[in-house]
Chain A
Amino acid sequence: MNNSYKSHPIVMIICWLILISPATAKTLYQEHVEQTEISDKVLQKSLKQVKKHKEIDIIDDLSMPPFHKRVALPTTKKQPFCMTCHLPLPHQKNERSRTFMNMHSRYIACETCHFRPEKTTLDYRWLAYDGIEAGNTLAPRHALEIINESSIQTERKHKAQFKKRAPLAPQPGARISPFYNDMPILLFKENTFAQKIKTEWKNADENQRAKIKAKLHAPLKKKGPSCKKCHEKDNAMFDLEALGATPMQIKAIQNNIIVRFFDRFKKEDDRIRINKLLQ
Chain B
Amino acid sequence: MPLNRFLLLMIALFIVSLQTVDAAQRHPDPDGCFSCHSLEGLDYIDKKGVLRSASINKQHYYSALHGSVPCKDCHRQIRDYPHKVENGEVNCGESCHVEEPSEGEPYTHKAVVKEYKNSVHGDGWSKGLTGGNRLREEKEAADPSCRFCHPNELYISEAELPKFKESFDHLDSECGSCHQGEIWLGQFGGHILRRFIGSRWNKNDHNKMCNTCHADHQRMANVEQKNEKTGKKEKVGPRFILASDSYATTLHGRLLETNVMQGASCIDCHAPKEFRHGVLRDEEKEAATHTENLAETCAQSGCHGYATHPLNYRFVKTDLHDIDMIPVINDIAPRDQSRLESGWVKALIALLPIIIILGGGSLLWWLFGSKKKSITFSVLGGDAFQEKMIGRKPKNKVKKKVAKKIKPVSSSSEKEAKDE
Which residues of A are in contact with B by a Cβ distance under 8 Å? 56-60, 62-71, 73, 87, 89, 91-92, 95-96, 98-100, 102-103, 106, 257-258, 261, 271-275, 277-278
Given A69-B57, A87-B45, A106-B41: A64 and B148 interface contact (C-beta under 8 Å)? yes
Q: Mark B126-164, 1 if CB is under 8 A from A, else 0.
A: 000101001101100000010110011000000000000
Of B78-86, B244-252, B399-407, the stretch lying at the interface with chain A is: B78-86
Residue on A nearest B141 in the bound complex, by CB: A64
Of B48-56, B265-273, B278-286, the stretch lying at the interface with chain A is: B48-56
Q: Is the CB of A59 within 8 A of B148?
A: no
Q: Is the CB of A92 within 8 A of B35?
A: no
Q: Is the CB of B81 within 8 A of A89?
A: no
Q: Is the CB of A278 within 8 A of B49?
A: no
B123 on the A face (CB < 8 A)? no
A-B contact list, 27 entries, CB within 8 Å: A56-B49, A58-B51, A59-B49, A60-B50, A62-B134, A62-B138, A65-B151, A66-B53, A67-B131, A67-B147, A68-B152, A70-B53, A71-B55, A71-B57, A73-B51, A91-B44, A99-B44, A106-B40, A106-B41, A258-B35, A271-B81, A272-B80, A273-B79, A274-B32, A274-B79, A274-B80, A277-B81
Given A73-B43, A89-B44: A99 and B54 interface contact (C-beta under 8 Å)? yes
Q: Is the CB of B135 within 8 A of A59?
A: yes
> Closest CB of chain B to A130's CB: distance in Å?
15
**Which residues, 35 to 76 on B, are CB-close (under 8 Å) to A?**
35-36, 39-51, 53-57, 60-61, 64
Q: Is the CB of A96 within 8 A of B82?
A: yes
Give the CA-CA distance A87 to B51 in the complex, in Å. Answer: 11
Q: Is the CB of B138 within 8 A of A64?
A: yes
Q: Is the CB of B56 within 8 A of A103?
A: no
Q: Is the CB of B43 within 8 A of A69?
A: no
Give the CA-CA distance A68 to B129 in the complex, in Å. Answer: 13
**The one of A67, A87, A92, A100 that contacts B152, using a Cβ cutoff of 8 Å:** A67
Question: Chain B residues near A71 (CB, 8 Å)?
Answer: 40, 53, 55, 57
Question: Chain A residues near B51 (CB, 8 Å)?
Answer: 58-60, 73, 89
B31 on the A face (CB < 8 A)? yes
**The one of A57, A59, A69 that contacts B60, using a Cβ cutoff of 8 Å:** A69
Question: Chain B residues near A66 (CB, 8 Å)?
Answer: 53, 131, 134, 151
> Closest CB of chain B to A56's CB: distance in Å?
5
Of B82, B84, B131, which is in contact with the most chain A CB atoms at under 10 Å from its CB? B82
Question: Chain B residues near A89 (CB, 8 Å)?
Answer: 43-45, 51
Contacts A57-B49, A69-B152 aside, 5 further interface pairs with beta carbons under 8 A come to A59-B49, A65-B148, A98-B44, A272-B81, A274-B80
Question: Chain A residues near B54 (CB, 8 Å)?
Answer: 99
Question: Chain B residues near A102 (CB, 8 Å)?
Answer: 41-44
